[in-house]
């Protein structure tokens, strides 16, 4: 059942991928007198007008703090905030809405698990399995835990295509293995990891698994019950929503067993100077005033994407990625980094003799927005013995004309340095 916010009906949106550009006002922008070609959605996707309107409606007709007030605005805001949680529950097919914790983003969600689960259950000599593909936000928190507790980090290697070596992953397990934290889709290469089988293998050893879904949730259907993951984290700003809000899904029994990450208001049941008792989930992990407007906007973004259909989005973006890959690999001196058989809409490349930052700067002169750098995945760059890449990341609001503009832009960059 689709949940509609109190006194707010989402405006009609297109259900045709080719015309979704009309839903995004920023795509009408010109940069350096050229039409904007936005190919940086892996960093942050753009917001459709319906999300912008929902945020405006909240601020002009609903703004108040939630959960405590008995007045009209507080009750209205509370209802809209709770509705957003239910939308996220349905989006990932969690069993209950209380398994959905609002965070400030994927990084915050991973840190919540590290503090709430890791600091309670992981001890000296225990081992945590990560992969070479991880974003820094899924490396650094676990290193901090290891330094604090004396636990050890074990790393799954990858092959030259940017794919996990599953046989090596399985060899890492032993009686000291206590946790696996793994990215679903590589943000720098686009590789889609076989997380369902990875999770199943970990569970045969009684080991819980956290999945960083920041780059997967915008591009494909996620069913946490089917995956049987223990935790799943993702962010709104990569899902056509606002910045500053994300979600941690966690299995109820694990969330109940964890200690709170932050202390403050609303995460408590009772407080005295002698003792504090904690609230039930999800409130136990949502201390203080939450990102109310952003969470409500996130819910509307989920409505929008659900209307389009995540399977349809994945098919369209895969076609766009394949088209871009075929075009770019024909250009002499350009090398695609990350050629996994199963990829999502990310294309990283290097050009012989040209620094990625120079590539990005020159493309920007033509209004083409890409990402350059190590993409918070320095171990990946070290694996391929490069300092950085240029990364074009596609969304359903992109089209082949924009891919052609990117290809023409790369040729122009090469001409400058020839």
86 is catalytic: no
How many angstroms separate the CA atoms of 170 and 156, rounded? 9
Task: Return the DSSP state at 244.
Answer: S
Contacts of 139 (CB under 8 A, 6+ apart): 130, 379
How many angstroms separate the CA atoms of 385 and 78, rounded? 51
Q: Token pair for residue 393?
A: 């990341």
How many angstroms separate the CA atoms of 286 and 284, rounded? 6
How many angstroms separate the CA atoms of 41 and 319, rounded? 16
User: If we measure between CA atoms, which residue out of 81, 16, 51 comes closest to residue 399?
Assistant: 16
| Residue 79 burial by Cβ neighbours in a 10 Å radius (0-12, 13-18, 19+) | middle
Contacts of 386 (CB under 8 A, 6+ apart): 337, 350
Catalytically active residues, by annotation: 376
């Amino acid at each position: 059942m689709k949940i509609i916010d109190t006194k707010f009906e989402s405006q009609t949106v297109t259900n045709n991928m080719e015309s979704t550009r009309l839903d995004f006002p920023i795509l009408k922008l010109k940069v350096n007198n050229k039409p904007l070609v936005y190919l940086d959605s892996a960093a942050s996707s753009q917001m459709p007008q319906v999300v912008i309107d929902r945020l405006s409606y909240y601020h002009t007709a609903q703004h108040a703090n939630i959960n405590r007030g008995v007045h009209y605005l507080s009750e209205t805001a509370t209802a809209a905030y709770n509705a957003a949680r239910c939308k996220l529950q349905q989006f990932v097919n969690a069993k209950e809405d209380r398994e959905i914790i609002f965070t400030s983003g994927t990084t915050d969600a991973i840190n919540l698990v590290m503090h709430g689960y890791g600091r309670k259950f992981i001890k000296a000599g225990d081992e945590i399995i990560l992969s070479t593909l991880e974003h820094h936000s899924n490396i650094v928190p676990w290193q901090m835990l290891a330094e604090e507790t004396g636990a050890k980090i074990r790393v799954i290697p990858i092959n030259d295509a940017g794919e996990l070596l599953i046989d090596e992953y399985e060899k890492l397990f032993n009686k000291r293995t206590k946790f696996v934290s793994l990215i679903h889709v590589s943000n720098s290469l686009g590789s889609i990891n076989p997380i369902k089988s990875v999770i199943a293998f970990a569970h045969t050893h009684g080991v819980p698994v956290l999945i960083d879904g920041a780059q997967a949730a915008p591009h494909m259907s996620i069913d946490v019950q089917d995956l049987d993951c223990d935790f799943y984290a993702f962010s709104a700003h990569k899902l056509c929503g606002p910045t500053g809000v994300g979600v941690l899904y966690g299995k109820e029994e694990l969330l109940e067993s964890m200690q709170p990450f932050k202390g403050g208001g609303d995460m408590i049941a009772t407080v005295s100077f002698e003792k504090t008792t904690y609230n039930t989930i999800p409130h136990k992990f949502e201390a203080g005033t939450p990102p109310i407007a952003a969470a409500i906007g996130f819910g509307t973004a989920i409505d929008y994407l659900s209307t389009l259909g995540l399977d349809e989005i994945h098919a369209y973006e895969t076609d766009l990625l394949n088209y871009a890959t075929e075009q770019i690999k024909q250009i002499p001196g350009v090398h695609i980094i990350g050629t996994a058989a199963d990829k999502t809409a990310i294309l990283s490349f290097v050009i012989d003799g040209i620094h990625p930052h120079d590539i990005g700067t020159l493309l920007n002169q033509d209004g083409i927005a890409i990402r350059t750098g190590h993409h918070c995945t320095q171990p990946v760059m070290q694996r391929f013995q490069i300092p950085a890449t240029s990364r074009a990341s596609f969304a359903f609001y992109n089209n082949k004309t924009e891919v052609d503009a990117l290809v023409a832009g790369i040729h122009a960059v090469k001409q400058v340095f020839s």
